[in-house]
Amino acid sequence: MSDTLTPVEQEIVRCTLSRFTCQQVAHQLRLSEGTVQAHLRSIYSKLGVTSPLELLLCVYSGAVKVTEEKVAAA
């Protein structure tokens, strides 16, 4: 399992774990919803998960590190 997430992917994980919708994440990061969905697919593939719950468990189990560094909006 690859736990190397890009800074944008880490920010999307943080938003997802905060229960933001794709639309809210897109607005927050100034991305399109399609781009957020593509990042989520990449995140799920990298971590071998298939749902937000599995993502939550992966992060909280320590299997993947999500730093506190924020991504600057474009």
Domains of the chain: 7-60 (1.10.10.10)
* Each residue's pLDDT tens digit, 43-56: 999 999 999 999 99
Residue 31 · residue 25 · CB < 8 Å:
yes
Reported pTM? 0.82
Average pLDDT score over residue span 52-72: 80
Burial class from Cβ neighbours inside 10 Å (0-12, 13-18, 19+) for residue 59 reads buried
Average pLDDT, the chain: 87
Percentage of the residues of the chain whose pLDDT score is greater than 70 = 86
User: Is residue 74's pLDDT more than 80?
Assistant: no
